[in-house]
Amino acid sequence: MSEIETDTETAWLSPEAMELVRAQVPVVYVDAVPVRVDPKGNVTEVGLLLRVAADGSISRMVVSGRVLLGERIRSALMRHCEKDLGPLALPRIPANPAPFTVVEYFPDPDRSGFYDPRHHAVSLAYVVPVDGNCEPTQQALDLAWFTPEEAVSPEVRDQMTGGHDRLIRLALAHVGQLP
């Protein structure tokens, strides 16, 4: 078996090594649904990124990304929120976050309703309140805020791929705000 190269500074695999891993084992991800809340803790807005999805489409989606080797889940959530929402997003992530659901993405879109053509991925999903000023970074084309009603509307759902429309519905149900 060939030796897999890992950048020890960042815990990133080379593109070739990542392709090999994706072909043979599930990859651990985090999904973060960014929300703004009122003083009572009710969700008033859901943030959705516009970016190029894994299937090549331009889609609305939540913050998402891999967990690095040796990285704590909280750190992965912070890193991806800051990367996608900007350094001043100020996400509120508890010391020991607990996911509201676990999502399995498969290369077959009919397998679970969550789709990633690259691989089988297991993602821990979180609702993440943000307090700061969010600005999409280079990874996203846009960031838009929607009311819970708008976020689950047919118009917005039609802009999502890979099952992210279902993830938004699960997140809003989890916080008792599914319209």
**Alpha helix ranges (H) inside the chain:** 15-24, 73-85, 109-112, 148-151, 154-157, 164-174
Tell me if 140 is assigned to some domain: yes
Q: What is the pLDDT along the chain (179 residues), one digit of tens a residue?
A: 445 454 445 567 788 888 887 788 899 999 999 999 999 999 999 999 999 888 888 999 999 999 998 999 999 999 999 999 998 999 999 999 999 999 999 999 899 999 999 999 999 999 999 998 888 776 778 899 999 999 999 999 999 999 999 999 999 999 999 99
Q: Which pTM value belongs to this model?
A: 0.88
Q: E strands along 16-137, which residues? A: 27-37, 43-52, 58-61, 63-66, 101-105, 121-129
Tell me if 6 is assigned to some domain: no
CATH, residue 60:
3.90.79.10
Tell me if 87 is assigned to some domain: yes
Tell me if 106 is assigned to some domain: yes
Whole-angstrom Cα distance, residue 111 to residue 119?
A: 12
Tell me if 150 is assigned to some domain: yes
Number of domains making up the chain: 1
Whole-angstrom Cα distance, residue 125 to residue 62?
A: 10
Among residues 126, 168, 169, 156, the alpha carbon closest in space to that of 50 is found at 156
Tell me if 18 is assigned to some domain: no
Structure tokens at 48: 């959705």
Predicted pLDDT at 9: 56
Tell me if 110 is assigned to some domain: yes
Tell me the DSSP string of 79-91: HHHHHHH-TT--B
Cα–Cα distances (Å) from 160 to 21, 155, 163, in that order, read 27, 10, 7
Tell me if 3 is assigned to some domain: no
